[in-house]
Chains A and B, each alone.
Chain A
Amino acid sequence: MQTEPTIIGFLCNWCSYAAADLAGNSKLEVPGNLTTIRVMCSSRVDPVFILNAYFQGADGVLVAGCHPGDCHYQTGNYYARRRLALLIKILQTFDIEPKRLRLSWISASEGQRFSEITQEFAKFIKEAGPNPLKKKPFFE
């Protein structure tokens, strides 16, 4: 049976979490299959969190932080960017397409952008089909 894909979003407390609130406040649509986890900074997102999400069956993972140069903690978003660049190489060894991981910069005022990015990402994930790890034996 084809089920709705699930997407986990890690949102920075200072920017994209506020942007998501703003999207809600403005009644902009955001995919219902996206559930978010609040972190204080995108640099808190340990790559293992993302691996864990895929191993638990997530079809897509979104990490959103402040725009370059705007990090609430000065440089956290740059660390997130570098860690995710490395993580993509690891994901490939598990046959997880790199595009299932999205890193976006969304400021607190960009509710519209949050809505657009998440809808577009959800559409992409739906087309990409389920997380290939789900087909592997240890999931059965």
Chain B
Amino acid sequence: MTKVGLFLCECGPNIAEAVDLDKVTEVIKGDKKVALIERHRLLCSEDGKKFLAESIKKNGFERIVIAACSPKQHENTFMEVMTRAGLNPYLFQMVNIREQCAWMTPDKELATQKAIRLIRAAINRINYHTPLKQKEIECSPDVLIIGAGITGIETALRTAQKNRNIYIVEKNELGGVLNRLQSLYPGMQSARELLQKKIKEIKSHPEIKVFQKSKIKEILGFFGNFIARIETEDKKEVKLNIGSIILTIGGETFVPAELPNFGYKKFENVFTADEFENSVINKENLPQTIAIVHCVGREKFGYCSKICCANSMKLARLIKEKSKNTKVFQFYKELCLPGKEYDQFYKETKEQGVEFIRYKNIEIGDHKIDYISEDEIKQSLSVDMIILSTGLVPGKDTQYFANLLNIPLDDYGFFKEEHIKLAPVSTITEGISIAGGCQGPQDLNDAVIQAGASAGRTLSSLIPGRRLQVEAKTCEIADSICVGCGVCVRVCTYGALTIDESKHISVVNEVLCRGCGNCAAACPSGAARHRHFTNQEIYQEERAMLK
């Protein structure tokens, strides 16, 4: 029989006053599964840790149960002590008799009874623990960035450092959407100048290798060890070994061809904002009156694109700069101008004589706009040119990369982040981050912030010269029991389980497994086992609690 040591921590007065530890000792003493019960005033203190380590050595404990605070507080602390004392840290169970007993059960007698049940559950389970190995694998610190728009470029610059190769792959020219812009709001600085400066920076950076007009043909592998096959500009094939990937493929502007009331492609003087800024504005003369219509496509795709209101005002300013006497009308539904600089930007635009008209419904005709105004009045306005301020939509390649890398898309077709608030640039596939317009509509500021966030996440997850530590409490498959039904493969969110076609059984990729245990609950034959939370371990806990 293995020698199990039980340690009771008084946690100062916290546990000692609420739970009758003498009674606990007296009751548990009779349990043959426990070799010795030790008690300490504050086990997490330096003195306590020393006491724990010495007691393990002196008494030759093989497994340890500690009844103290929540494992969320000090499980790691005690696991470290165990490791130093030469024990496998997983031959340990912590009993939460502070938060979930002493502090929530005011009746001392009840609290003591509860503590006894909880401790017994741990004692019952501890003999079923198996030593787990903290596994480490070789990995590459190199990063592949897909898409060299401004987000991709910025991400590359921020990830580039010594001992790490950064590869950036772009299917077209470098620069993405910034190539098509004249200036940036609200500062109205030149987009081209900024872009040229950044492109020069990445091209000359010793740690960054740029592949433009290149295609990603295939990506295999997993976090730490991906292999990407790339077809370069001169149709050569390059194989890259990388550890992580950042997707910065951007979005696209909506083309309103399918919305007939906006008259796009029907009348020759109707353009999208993108077309106007990219080419029309460079033509010689601008006409006398120009209307900019906001919220084009918003109803269809069901979200506000965040950038178009400010962008429309920027266009009005560009028009005014070029042709002072041109009258500019802004037809808007709602104005979305959050942020510290935009109230002023709006005020200044208005001061330049730009007129704002709020519409409820709109129909674009030949050189005119019929609209229903805010106060439900039908009106008409003749104009010489109409600019449609269209929203942002997912890029055409989004689906391709979602399939290639096993990343889900959200309801609108953008890459889905792991958590909208707490993990906005990670995806459910370990080692793959997203930034910029492929995650959702955003302006340059947000894109640059996301570039920084994804760079930081990537840099901290794989460090040159260090091996990758993988979760120890993963799932495992018992080869002799598995029949290869594939139920576990279907429930696994992370693609950690696959069917080995030659053996016709399921296999686990322990780098991808995050240890949720869903497969173990789903497996009909009991072949999938969740380490540290096995069926036996949980049955033992139940049995003790219900005795």
**A residues near B, CB below 8 A?**
6, 8, 17-18, 20-21, 23-25, 27-30, 32-33, 35-41, 43-49, 52-53, 56-58, 70, 72-76, 79, 83, 115
Query: Which chain A residue has the least Cβ–Cβ distance from B102?
Result: A24
Contact check, A79 vs B491: say whether CB atoms are below 8 A apart: yes
Residues of A within 8 A of B104 (CB): 20, 23-24, 27-30, 115
- In the bound complex, do residue A41 and residue B518 qualify as a contact, i.e. CB atoms below 8 Å apart? yes
Are the CB atoms of B517 and A44 closer together than 8 Å?
yes
Residues of chain A with a CB closer than 8 A to B36's CB:
none
Closest 5 CB pairs of A and B: A44-B517, A24-B99, A32-B110, A24-B103, A43-B518
* Shortest beta-carbon distance from A32 to chain B in Å: 3
Given contacts A21-B70, A29-B106, A41-B517, 10 further A-B contacts (CB under 8 A): A21-B96, A25-B99, A37-B545, A40-B515, A40-B516, A43-B521, A44-B518, A49-B538, A56-B543, A76-B516
Contact B117 A35 (CB under 8 A): yes
Nearest-neighbor residue (CB-CB) of A115 within chain B: B104
Which residues on the B side are within 8 Å of A45 (C-beta)? 521
- Please list the residues of chain B having a beta carbon within 8 angstroms of any beta carbon in chain A: 70-72, 96, 98-107, 110-111, 113-114, 117-118, 121, 418-419, 428, 473, 491, 493-494, 514-518, 520-522, 530, 533, 535, 538-539, 541-543, 545-546
Chain A residues near B121 (CB, 8 Å)? Answer: 35, 37
When distances are taken between beta carbons in the complex, the residues of chain B under 8 Å from A57 are: 546
Can you offer 28 A-B residue contacts whose CB atoms are under 8 A? A8-B542, A8-B546, A17-B72, A18-B72, A24-B70, A25-B99, A27-B103, A28-B104, A29-B105, A29-B106, A32-B114, A35-B121, A37-B541, A38-B71, A44-B518, A44-B520, A44-B533, A52-B542, A53-B546, A56-B543, A56-B546, A58-B542, A58-B546, A73-B493, A73-B514, A74-B493, A76-B516, A79-B522
Indicate whether A73 sits within 8 Å of B516 (C-beta atoms), given known contacts A49-B539, A56-B546.
Answer: yes
Contact residue among A8, A23, A29, A41 (Cβ-Cβ distance under 8 Å from B516): A41
Q: Is the interface of B mostly helix, strand, loop or mixed?
A: helix
A8 in contact with B545 (CB, 8 Å): yes
CA distance A8 to B547 in the complex (A): 12
B522 neighbours in A (Cβ, 8 Å): 79
Q: Smallest CB-CB separation from A54: which chain B residue? A: B546
B521-A37 in contact (CB<8A): no
Give the interface centre of A37, A45, A48, A79 by most chain B CB atoms within 10 Å.
A37
Cβ distance A131 to chain B, nearest Cβ, rounded Å = 10
Contacts of B533 in A (CB 8 A): 39-40, 44
Q: Closest CB-CB distance, B177 to chain A, in whole Å?
A: 31
Q: Determine whether the beta carbon of A74 is less than 8 Å from that of B103.
A: no
Residues of B within 8 A of A18 (CB): 72
Q: How far is the CA of A39 from the CA of B493 in the complex (A)?
A: 17
Contact of A37 among B110, B113, B535, B542 (CB under 8 A): B542
Among B105, B113, B118, the residue within 8 A (CB) of A30 is: B105
Give Cα distance in the complex from A45 to B107, angstroms.
30
Determine the distance from Cα of A24 to Cα of B533 in the docked complex, in whole angstroms: 24
Q: Which single residue of chain B is at the shortest CB-CB distance from A11?
A: B100
Whole-angstrom distance from the CB of A37 to the nearest CB of chain B?
Answer: 5
The answer for the CA separation of A37 and B71 in the assembled complex, in Å, is: 12
Q: Report chain A residues within 8 Å CB of B494.
A: 73
Report how far A49 CA is from B543 CA in the complex, Å.
Answer: 11
Q: Is the CB of B105 within 8 A of A32?
A: yes
A32 near B113 (CB under 8 angstroms)?
A: yes
A27: chain B residues within 8 A (beta carbon): 103-104
Complex: chain A residue closest to B421, CB-CB: A70
Query: What are the residues of chain A within 8 A of B107 when measuring CB–CB?
Result: 32
CB distance from A92 to the nearest CB of B (A): 21
List residues of chain A with CB within 8 A of the CB of B491: 43, 79
Shortest distance between the CB of B411 and any CB in chain A (Å): 12
A53 lies within 8 A of B542 (CB) = yes
The CA of A57 and the CA of B538, in the complex, are separated in Å by 15
Given the interface contacts A73-B516, A79-B518, does A46 sit within 8 Å of B535 by beta carbon? yes
Name which residue of chain A comes closest to B420, CB basis.
Answer: A69
Whether B542 and A43, one on each chain, are in contact in the complex, defined by CB atoms closer than 8 angstroms, is no
Cβ–Cβ < 8 Å partners of A70 in chain B: 419
Complex interface: chain B residues within 8 A of A83 (CB): 521
CB distance from A46 to the nearest CB of B (A): 4
Determine whether the beta carbon of B516 is less than 8 Å from that of A32: no
User: Inside 8 A of A46's CB, which chain B residues have their CB?
Assistant: 520-521, 535
Name the one of A23, A35, A38 contacting B545, with C-beta atoms under 8 angstroms: A35
Closest approach, in angstroms, between the C-beta of B426 and any C-beta of chain A?
12
Closest CB-CB distance, B434 to chain A, in whole Å? Answer: 15
**B542: shortest Cβ distance to chain A, in Å?**
5
> Does A52 contact B539, Cβ atoms closer than 8 Å?
yes
Chain B residues with CB under 8 A of A79: 491, 518, 521-522
Q: Are A36 and B100 in contact (CB under 8 A)?
A: yes
Closest to A47 in B: B521
Chain B residues with Cβ below 8 Å from A53 are 542, 546
CB distance from A76 to the nearest CB of B (A): 5
Q: Please report the C-alpha to C-alpha distance between residue A20 and residue B521 in the assembled complex, in whole angstroms.
A: 24
Contact B113 A74 (CB under 8 A): no
B contact residues around A8 at 8 Å (CB): 542, 545-546
- Supposing A32-B107, A32-B110, A35-B117 touch, asked if A21 and B72 sit within 8 A by C-beta, the answer is yes
Interface centre among B102, B106, B111, B521 (most CB of A within 10 A): B521
Q: A44-B521, A75-B493, A79-B522 are in contact. Are A35 and B118 (CB under 8 A)?
A: yes
